[in-house]
Structure 1
Amino acid sequence: MLPTEAELRERLTAEQFQITQHAGTERPFTGKYWETTRNGVYHCVVCDVALFSSDTKFDAGCGWPSFYAPLKGDSIENRVDYSHGMTRTETVCARCGAHLGHVFPDG
Protein backbone atom coordinates (compact mmCIF):
# COMPACT_ATOMS: atom_id res chain seq x y z
CA MET A 1 0.00 0.00 0.00
CA LEU A 2 1.34 3.40 -0.95
CA PRO A 3 1.57 6.23 1.59
CA THR A 4 -1.04 8.99 1.65
CA GLU A 5 -0.16 12.60 0.94
CA ALA A 6 -0.37 13.36 4.67
CA GLU A 7 2.01 10.50 5.46
CA LEU A 8 4.44 11.70 2.79
CA ARG A 9 4.36 15.28 4.10
CA GLU A 10 5.21 13.95 7.55
CA ARG A 11 7.97 11.57 6.41
CA LEU A 12 9.68 13.47 3.58
CA THR A 13 11.50 16.75 3.70
CA ALA A 14 9.74 19.65 1.97
CA GLU A 15 12.25 19.37 -0.89
CA GLN A 16 11.75 15.61 -1.27
CA PHE A 17 7.98 16.10 -1.34
CA GLN A 18 8.19 18.87 -3.95
CA ILE A 19 10.53 16.83 -6.16
CA THR A 20 8.74 13.49 -5.98
CA GLN A 21 5.13 14.68 -5.93
CA HIS A 22 5.30 17.83 -8.07
CA ALA A 23 8.21 17.07 -10.44
CA GLY A 24 10.44 19.60 -8.75
CA THR A 25 14.19 19.79 -9.26
CA GLU A 26 16.89 20.19 -6.65
CA ARG A 27 19.67 22.61 -7.44
CA PRO A 28 22.48 20.88 -9.36
CA PHE A 29 25.64 19.88 -7.48
CA THR A 30 23.83 20.06 -4.12
CA GLY A 31 22.02 16.74 -3.66
CA LYS A 32 23.08 14.08 -1.21
CA TYR A 33 23.83 11.50 -3.91
CA TRP A 34 25.12 13.36 -6.95
CA GLU A 35 28.76 12.83 -5.95
CA THR A 36 28.43 9.53 -4.04
CA THR A 37 30.66 6.72 -5.29
CA ARG A 38 29.85 3.99 -2.74
CA ASN A 39 28.64 0.64 -4.03
CA GLY A 40 24.99 -0.09 -3.44
CA VAL A 41 21.43 0.23 -4.64
CA TYR A 42 19.39 3.42 -4.91
CA HIS A 43 15.79 3.13 -3.67
CA CYS A 44 12.72 5.28 -4.18
CA VAL A 45 12.37 7.65 -1.23
CA VAL A 46 8.57 7.29 -1.40
CA CYS A 47 7.95 3.53 -1.69
CA ASP A 48 11.43 2.01 -1.18
CA VAL A 49 11.46 0.03 -4.45
CA ALA A 50 15.00 -0.65 -5.72
CA LEU A 51 15.63 1.59 -8.74
CA PHE A 52 19.29 1.77 -9.73
CA SER A 53 22.60 0.07 -8.99
CA SER A 54 25.73 2.09 -8.33
CA ASP A 55 27.28 -0.02 -11.11
CA THR A 56 25.24 1.96 -13.66
CA LYS A 57 25.90 5.42 -12.21
CA PHE A 58 28.01 7.82 -14.24
CA ASP A 59 29.05 11.47 -14.15
CA ALA A 60 27.05 13.28 -16.81
CA GLY A 61 28.48 16.60 -15.66
CA CYS A 62 25.00 17.94 -14.91
CA GLY A 63 25.17 17.92 -11.11
CA TRP A 64 22.50 15.25 -10.60
CA PRO A 65 22.95 11.50 -10.17
CA SER A 66 22.86 9.86 -13.60
CA PHE A 67 22.34 6.21 -14.48
CA TYR A 68 22.46 4.44 -17.82
CA ALA A 69 20.07 1.62 -16.86
CA PRO A 70 17.53 0.77 -14.15
CA LEU A 71 18.16 -2.09 -11.73
CA LYS A 72 15.18 -3.92 -13.27
CA GLY A 73 13.46 -3.02 -16.50
CA ASP A 74 10.11 -2.60 -14.79
CA SER A 75 11.25 -0.46 -11.83
CA ILE A 76 10.99 2.84 -13.71
CA GLU A 77 8.73 4.34 -16.37
CA ASN A 78 9.56 7.00 -18.91
CA ARG A 79 6.84 9.49 -19.85
CA VAL A 80 6.67 12.34 -22.32
CA ASP A 81 6.80 15.65 -20.42
CA TYR A 82 5.64 18.83 -22.18
CA SER A 83 6.16 21.17 -19.23
CA HIS A 84 8.04 24.48 -19.39
CA GLY A 85 7.56 24.76 -23.17
CA MET A 86 9.80 21.75 -23.85
CA THR A 87 9.36 18.15 -24.88
CA ARG A 88 11.36 15.93 -22.55
CA THR A 89 11.37 12.42 -21.16
CA GLU A 90 10.48 12.26 -17.47
CA THR A 91 11.52 9.22 -15.44
CA VAL A 92 9.25 8.12 -12.59
CA CYS A 93 9.12 5.23 -10.15
CA ALA A 94 6.93 2.55 -11.76
CA ARG A 95 5.44 1.55 -8.41
CA CYS A 96 4.38 4.90 -6.95
CA GLY A 97 4.86 7.46 -9.74
CA ALA A 98 7.42 9.53 -7.83
CA HIS A 99 9.33 11.91 -10.09
CA LEU A 100 12.96 10.80 -10.40
CA GLY A 101 14.28 13.15 -13.06
CA HIS A 102 14.61 13.47 -16.81
CA VAL A 103 16.42 11.59 -19.55
CA PHE A 104 18.65 13.72 -21.74
CA PRO A 105 20.01 12.57 -25.10
CA ASP A 106 23.50 13.93 -24.41
CA GLY A 107 23.95 11.98 -21.16
Structure 2
Amino acid sequence: MSAQPQLAQAPRVRSIVDFYLTTMRTAISSQFQYRVAQYFYMLGMVAEPVIYLVVWSTIARSHGGSVGGITPSEFAAYYIVWTLVRNINVVFGAPFWEWRIR
Protein backbone atom coordinates (compact mmCIF):
# COMPACT_ATOMS: atom_id res chain seq x y z
CA MET A 1 0.00 0.00 0.00
CA SER A 2 1.59 3.23 -1.11
CA ALA A 3 0.75 6.35 0.77
CA GLN A 4 0.72 9.45 -1.34
CA PRO A 5 2.06 12.53 0.37
CA GLN A 6 -0.61 14.98 1.46
CA LEU A 7 -0.26 18.55 0.33
CA ALA A 8 -0.01 20.96 3.19
CA GLN A 9 -3.15 23.06 3.56
CA ALA A 10 -1.39 26.44 3.71
CA PRO A 11 0.30 26.15 0.28
CA ARG A 12 -2.95 24.87 -1.27
CA VAL A 13 -4.98 27.75 0.13
CA ARG A 14 -2.29 30.23 -0.84
CA SER A 15 -2.22 28.93 -4.41
CA ILE A 16 -6.01 29.15 -4.66
CA VAL A 17 -5.96 32.71 -3.34
CA ASP A 18 -3.16 33.58 -5.79
CA PHE A 19 -5.19 32.08 -8.63
CA TYR A 20 -8.29 34.14 -7.80
CA LEU A 21 -6.29 37.34 -7.30
CA THR A 22 -4.54 36.84 -10.63
CA THR A 23 -7.84 36.10 -12.35
CA MET A 24 -9.39 39.22 -10.82
CA ARG A 25 -6.46 41.43 -11.88
CA THR A 26 -6.59 40.01 -15.39
CA ALA A 27 -10.36 40.58 -15.64
CA ILE A 28 -10.05 44.15 -14.37
CA SER A 29 -7.24 44.98 -16.79
CA SER A 30 -9.27 43.45 -19.61
CA GLN A 31 -12.28 45.58 -18.70
CA PHE A 32 -10.20 48.77 -18.67
CA GLN A 33 -9.78 48.29 -22.40
CA TYR A 34 -13.50 48.86 -22.83
CA ARG A 35 -14.01 51.81 -20.51
CA VAL A 36 -16.56 53.67 -22.62
CA ALA A 37 -18.74 50.58 -22.99
CA GLN A 38 -18.54 50.01 -19.23
CA TYR A 39 -19.57 53.60 -18.51
CA PHE A 40 -22.60 53.34 -20.79
CA TYR A 41 -23.52 49.99 -19.26
CA MET A 42 -23.31 51.39 -15.71
CA LEU A 43 -25.26 54.48 -16.73
CA GLY A 44 -28.00 52.30 -18.21
CA MET A 45 -28.19 50.07 -15.15
CA VAL A 46 -28.54 53.07 -12.82
CA ALA A 47 -30.56 55.51 -14.96
CA GLU A 48 -33.64 53.31 -15.46
CA PRO A 49 -34.44 52.76 -11.76
CA VAL A 50 -33.72 56.41 -10.96
CA ILE A 51 -36.18 57.53 -13.64
CA TYR A 52 -38.83 55.10 -12.33
CA LEU A 53 -38.24 56.33 -8.79
CA VAL A 54 -38.61 59.98 -9.75
CA VAL A 55 -41.78 59.33 -11.77
CA TRP A 56 -43.53 57.21 -9.11
CA SER A 57 -42.48 59.48 -6.24
CA THR A 58 -43.85 62.49 -8.12
CA ILE A 59 -47.12 60.67 -8.81
CA ALA A 60 -47.38 59.63 -5.15
CA ARG A 61 -46.81 63.19 -3.93
CA SER A 62 -49.38 64.58 -6.38
CA HIS A 63 -51.98 62.07 -5.15
CA GLY A 64 -51.73 63.08 -1.51
CA GLY A 65 -48.60 61.18 -0.50
CA SER A 66 -49.23 57.64 -1.74
CA VAL A 67 -50.30 55.53 -4.69
CA GLY A 68 -52.27 52.45 -3.72
CA GLY A 69 -50.93 52.78 -0.19
CA ILE A 70 -47.29 52.96 -1.31
CA THR A 71 -45.42 56.05 -0.11
CA PRO A 72 -42.41 57.68 -1.82
CA SER A 73 -40.07 56.20 0.81
CA GLU A 74 -41.44 52.72 0.06
CA PHE A 75 -40.89 53.35 -3.66
CA ALA A 76 -37.30 54.34 -2.85
CA ALA A 77 -36.73 51.17 -0.82
CA TYR A 78 -38.24 49.05 -3.59
CA TYR A 79 -36.12 50.58 -6.35
CA ILE A 80 -32.91 50.37 -4.28
CA VAL A 81 -33.46 46.66 -3.68
CA TRP A 82 -34.56 46.13 -7.28
CA THR A 83 -31.38 47.80 -8.56
CA LEU A 84 -29.17 45.63 -6.33
CA VAL A 85 -30.94 42.40 -7.30
CA ARG A 86 -30.93 43.37 -10.96
CA ASN A 87 -27.19 44.07 -10.96
CA ILE A 88 -26.36 40.89 -9.07
CA ASN A 89 -28.42 38.73 -11.43
CA VAL A 90 -27.28 40.07 -14.78
CA VAL A 91 -27.48 37.37 -17.43
CA PHE A 92 -26.44 37.96 -20.99
CA GLY A 93 -28.09 36.33 -23.97
CA ALA A 94 -26.58 33.89 -26.44
CA PRO A 95 -24.92 36.53 -28.64
CA PHE A 96 -22.79 37.58 -25.67
CA TRP A 97 -21.45 34.11 -24.80
CA GLU A 98 -21.40 32.50 -28.23
CA TRP A 99 -17.62 32.99 -28.45
CA ARG A 100 -17.18 30.64 -25.46
CA ILE A 101 -18.75 27.77 -27.38
CA ARG A 102 -16.53 28.13 -30.43
| Structure having the larger proportion of residues in helix | 2
Q: Larger radius of gyration, structure 1 or 2?
A: 2
Q: TM-score w.r.t. structure 1 length?
A: 0.21
Instruction: Choose between structure 1 and 2: higher strand proportion.
Output: 1
Structure with bigger RCO (C-alpha 8 Å, 6+ apart): 1
| TM-score (ref. length: structure 2) | 0.22
